[in-house]
Amino acid sequence: MAPLKRRAKRIKTEDLKEGENSAATVDPDARRRAGPTERGSPPSTKHIGAHLSIQGGIWKAVERCSAMGGRSLALFLGSQRSWKRPALDPSAAAQFKERCAQQGFDPAHILPHGSYLMNCGSPKDDVFEKSQAMLVDELGRCRALGLSLYNLHPGSSLGSISTAQCIQKIAGAIDHAHRQVPAVVTVLENMCGQGSTVGGEFSELKSIVEQVRDQSRVGVCLDTCHAFAAGYDLAADGGVSAMLDQFDTEVGLHYLRAIHLNDSKGPLGCHLDRHEDIGKGQIGMSAFRDIVNEPRLDHIPLILETPGRPGFEYAEQIALLYSLIERK
Ligand SMILES: [Zn+2]
Ligand SMILES: [Zn+2]
């Protein structure tokens, strides 16, 4: 494993192009200074974190996040391979809640990610029913973990039903789950518009939101890679602000519950879901600087789902993002 010193140096010399961020002399402790443990100044209003593994126990994700200086996190609620999972162990749930309290994580900054197996808009009856049941199960797990938000990929028509029909199914599955499990807010993620997935356009997200019965229990998470791949030009001057303006007009900013921070390997409008490390892709560093300095994104989880590379893993990317915040 590379020693910390070398990793810090790599961020300075290789990962920041000259002139892109003259103030970004990142060192391994930058995240601590900008983050929750900063001494002598108020903690940042930005909650930057990452999607972390639950291997070894669901509470481990909280420990991993805290160890890397994260202030928000995402996690899966179980295996991504199986429709049927063992019930959540109450002692694991208790440990999870204990770690959250110890490390100072507010449930509002934790956004579990739904299983990739689900398609709540599926035209196939068996898949739709299994997805609907899994949505109930996952919202129940959120409740048991003391969490209030849950992130869902809306679904896909598979090209055999219309987008409108698919949206109706998705909203129906969410309503069904909301009737079974109280309180948890279902947060729809924007997609990159690949194939027949729904949710690449803000207007599609709006349609789902509108059809969900309890609008106080539905929200949106904007993934920057997906948005860019869907054609929202975050790399343009003022692109982040323009996207948020458009989101506000088409959906409403009060529905925005989280951001997934990912650069994109593919170009604008490519409709490919290829995440890249921050500043290493087609979106580029200046959009991420705008994001961490955007007051409309205060107090919500800003979560990395980047592949990482030697010397530029989550910890370094979190530190880099905190270093881009301009202090007033
Ligand atoms: Zn996702
Ligand atoms: Zn993605």
Asked if residue 3 belongs to a domain, the reply is no
CATH number at residue 229: 3.20.20.150
Provide the phi-psi class of 183: left if phi over 0, else alpha when psi is between -120 and 50, else beta: left
Please give the distance, rounded to the nearest whole angstrom, from the Cα atom of residue 275 to the centre of ligand 2: 6
Residue 30 falls inside a structural domain: no
Is residue 271 annotated as part of the catalytic site, yes or no? no
What's the CA-to-centroid distance between 215 and ligand 2, angstroms?
25
Residue 220: inside a domain, yes or no? yes
Q: Kindly give the distance from the C-alpha atom of residue 231 to the centroid of ligand 2, in angstroms, as a whole number.
A: 14
How many A from CA of 276 to the centre of ligand 1?
14
Q: Which of 196, 190, 171, 195 minimizes the C-alpha distance to 244?
A: 190
Distance from residue 53's CA to the centre of ligand 1 (Å): 14
Indicate if 175 belongs to the active site.
no
Q: Is position 316 within any domain?
A: yes
**Nearest ligand to residue 273 Cα:** 2
Which ligand gives the minimal distance to the CA of 74? Answer: 1
Please tell me whether residue 328 adopts helix, strand or coil conformation.
Answer: coil
From 286, 313, 258, select the one nearest 46 (Cα to Cα): 258
pLDDT of the residue at 62:
98
**What's the confidence (pLDDT) of residue 43?**
75
Coil/strand/helix, residue 124:
coil
pLDDT value of residue 11: 34
CA atoms of 163 and 157, how far apart (whole Å): 6
The C-alpha atoms of residue 266 and residue 275 are separated, in whole angstroms, by 8
Decide if 51 is inside a domain.
yes
CA atoms 293, 296, 300, 305: torsion sign: negative
* The one catalytic residue among 260, 276, 313, 322: 260
Annotated catalytic residue 213: no
Q: Shortest CA distance to 26 belongs to which of 324, 328, 326?
A: 324
Report whether 165 contacts 114 (CB < 8 A).
no
Q: Is 116 a catalytic residue?
A: yes
CA–chain centroid gap for 136, Å, is 20
189 has catalytic annotation: yes
d(CA 14, CA 143): 43
Q: What string of DSSP letters covers 194-245?
A: -TTEE-SSHHHHHHHHHHSS-GGGEEEEEEHHHHHHHT--TTSTTHHHHHHH
Q: Which residues, chain by chain, have CB under 5 Å from ion ligand 2?
A: 273
Given the residues 137, 138, 204, 273, the one annotated as active site: 273
- CA gap 112, 114 in Å, rounded: 7
Q: What separation in Å is there between the alpha carbon of 189 and the centre of ligand 1?
A: 6
Looking at the 3D structure of the chain, how many domains does it have? 1
In a domain, 14, yes or no: no
Q: Give the list of residues 6+ apart from residue 317 with CB closer than 8 angstroms, or none.
A: 50, 277, 278, 304, 306, 308
Q: Which two tokens stand for residue 241?
A: 């602000």
Ordered DSSP codes for 4-39: HHHHHHHIIIIIS-TTT-TT----TTHHHHHSTT-S
178 catalytically annotated: no
- The residue from 39, 81, 254, 327 that is catalytic is 81
- Look at residue 60 and tell me if it is in a domain: yes
Show the DSSP H helices in the chain as ranges.
4-10, 30-34, 60-67, 90-103, 125-144, 163-180, 202-211, 224-230, 239-250, 285-292, 314-323
**Is 9 inside any structural domain?**
no
Of the ligands numbered here, which is closest to the C-alpha atom of 192? 2
- The confidence score (pLDDT) of residue 258 equals 98
Cβ–Cβ < 8 Å for 105, 148: no
Residue 71 among the catalytic residues:
no
Ligand nearest, relative to CA of residue 51: 1
- Supply the range of the domain harboring residue 140: 38-323
113, 178, 217, 289: which one is catalytic?
113
Return per-residue pLDDT of the chain as tens, 328 residues.
333 333 333 333 333 333 333 333 334 444 443 454 444 456 799 999 999 999 999 999 999 999 999 999 999 999 988 999 999 999 999 999 999 999 999 999 999 999 999 999 999 999 999 999 999 999 999 999 999 999 999 999 999 999 999 999 999 999 999 999 999 999 999 999 999 999 999 999 999 999 999 999 999 999 999 999 999 999 999 999 999 999 999 999 999 999 999 999 999 999 999 999 999 999 999 999 999 999 999 999 999 999 999 999 999 999 999 999 998 6
